Amino acid sequence: MKGNLIVGQSGGPTAAINATLSGVIRGAKKAKADGYIEKIYGMRNGIEGFLEDRLIDLDSAFADIKDLSLLEATPSAALGSCRKKLPAPVLGDATYEKIFELFKKYDIRYFFYIGGNDSMDTVAKLSVYAKLVNYEIRAIGVPKTIDNDLAATDHTPGFGSAAKFIATTISEILCDTAVYQIPAVTIVEIMGRDAGWLTTAAALPSLNGAGVDYIYLPEAPFSVDSFIEDVKKALARHPNVVIAVSEGIRDKDGNYISASGKKDNFGHVQLTGAGKALEGIVKEKIGCKVRSIEISLLQRCASHIASLTDITESVQTGESAVRFALRGSTGTMICIKRYETENYEVYFEALDVLSIANAVKSVPEEYMNEEKNGVTQACIDYLAPLVLGELPVTYKNGIPEHFTFD
């Protein structure tokens, strides 16, 4: 099918979402050279910017293909992002009418949306509406999320780089906290509302000899009593105890150990301070020196230590999306699949986005130890290849150089 192509970025930024954008652009440039498409558009601020008719010509923005390398090493979403949730796809809905009017105006026949769960929801809805109005378009979701919580894919682009930053930071924190002889507990709070994937990365430094004492994930009910027992046991072993905890830990009744109660546009509860909450608990129940560290959004934008494996796969995911679209795929999400071989190797599939959108992939039972305060070797084996390799970084004035459209 001939026509034009558009790509957008949505949801929270990662260190790899621009690499995926670069992959789509690389694939699109090839498709253009092969005569399949004519124009390569980018939407500013996702579907929100598209609705405001804010498009950018990506073909000329990256006339020099070398600029794509800089884009790939730039964190966050260069096109801008949004958190817009589309309404249910009902014939005649004003939002959809506007979107499809613009599709027609620009003759958009290839639509790529890079994002997480909520963005896959957008792709699914657009696909449904396209069928309703009989508009031929290939709409494909390109996954990204540091949370690694998308179903059907072995892992998500962006996760490996965040995991590498977390593992590195934990390793450095382990050096830092080891210096004093006074009993002290350091609690590192890691992102992950419902899925503890990012927090499992705190286990990786153990491959190099130094490990955290405990890892608590939202997948297992958190018990304050067991936690205090764990900490006491660790303090009996050595003075400096380091604990990794997911922001989303909750008790057996499902109550977050700490929650502000506010909700975001998608109805998710906004969390703060599981680490701070545990800090208070240790102070009260044990009384030793205790500190909590929130890695915060640094973990999702630390491009300066991006995983080469992650960035390479992110580019490939974008390229694959274009390839699958040209072959006729629509209403799908590109999934990374791992071969069951000894050496880590992946391939790509395009799977029905409807069956993926809004499903959450949790850390499975077999990746957690029996006490639910650590991870298993199987979990480490799963994680290890994802953080391998370092993306070359261009420094300017001693600071990583970043790409910007403006």
Task: Mark residues 202-241: x for contact with a second copy by CB under 8 A, - for none.
Answer: --xx-xxxx-------------------------------
Q: Which stretch binds a second copy (CB under 8 A): 96-104, 134-142, 228-236, 293-301?
A: 293-301
Nearest distance from C-beta of residue 307 to a second copy, angstroms: 7
269 binds a second copy (CB under 8 A): no
164 binds a second copy (CB under 8 A): yes
Tell me the two tokens of residue 176.
Answer: 């830092």
CA nearest 222: which of 254, 196, 191? 254
Query: Hey, what long-range contacts does 255-259 have (CB within 8 A, 24 or more apart)?
Result: 257/222, 257/224
**Cβ contact 9:17 at 8 Å:** yes
139 binds a second copy (CB under 8 A): no
Nearest distance from C-beta of residue 392 to a second copy, angstroms: 11
337 Cβ partners below 8 Å, 6+ apart? 153, 154, 346, 347, 348, 349
Helix or strand or coil: residue 64?
coil
381 binds a second copy (CB under 8 A): no
**Residue 328, beta-bridge partner list:** none
297 binds a second copy (CB under 8 A): yes
155 binds a second copy (CB under 8 A): no
* C-alpha span between 150 and 20 (Å, rounded): 16
Helix or strand or coil: residue 195?
coil
Nearest distance from C-beta of residue 404 to a second copy, angstroms: 7
CA nearest 79: which of 13, 123, 3, 145? 13
Task: Mark residues 84-123: x for contact with a second copy by CB under 8 A, - for none.
Answer: ----------------------------------------
Q: Which stretch binds a second copy (CB under 8 A): 26-34, 95-103, 145-153, 380-388?
A: 380-388
251 is catalytic: no
Residue with tokens 């009993």: 183
Give the H/E segment covering residue 184.
Answer: strand 184-190
Start-to-end C-alpha separation, the chain: 33
* Helix/strand/coil (H/E/C) assignment for every residue in 141-169: EEECCCCCCCCCCCCCCCHHHHHHHHHHH
Task: Mark residues 300-329: x for contact with a second copy by CB under 8 A, - for none.
Answer: xxxxxx-x----------------------
Looking at 83, 285, 323, 337, which residue binds a second copy (CB under 8 A)? 83
Tell me the two tokens of residue 265.
Answer: 């546009």
Looking at 296, 355, 358, 377, which residue binds a second copy (CB under 8 A)? 296
Task: Mark residues 187-206: x for contact with a second copy by CB under 8 A, - for none.
Answer: -----------------xx-
Looking at 136, 176, 345, 371, which residue binds a second copy (CB under 8 A)? 176
Helix or strand or coil: residue 57?
strand
Q: Which stretch binds a second copy (CB under 8 A): 24-32, 78-86, 93-101, 228-236?
A: 78-86
Nearest distance from C-beta of residue 174 to a second copy, angstroms: 8
Torsion of CA 12, 13, 16, 20, to 10 degrees: 70
What number of helices (H) and strands (E) belong to the chain?
Answer: 13, 13
Q: How crowded is residue 12: how many other Cβ atoms within 10 Å of its Cβ?
A: 21
Q: Which residue numbers are catalytic?
A: 147
Instruction: Write out the residues near a second copy by the rule CB under 8 A.
Output: 9, 13, 45, 48-49, 74-77, 80-83, 164, 167-169, 171-173, 175-176, 178-181, 204-205, 207-210, 291, 293-298, 300-305, 307, 384, 387-390, 393, 395-402, 404
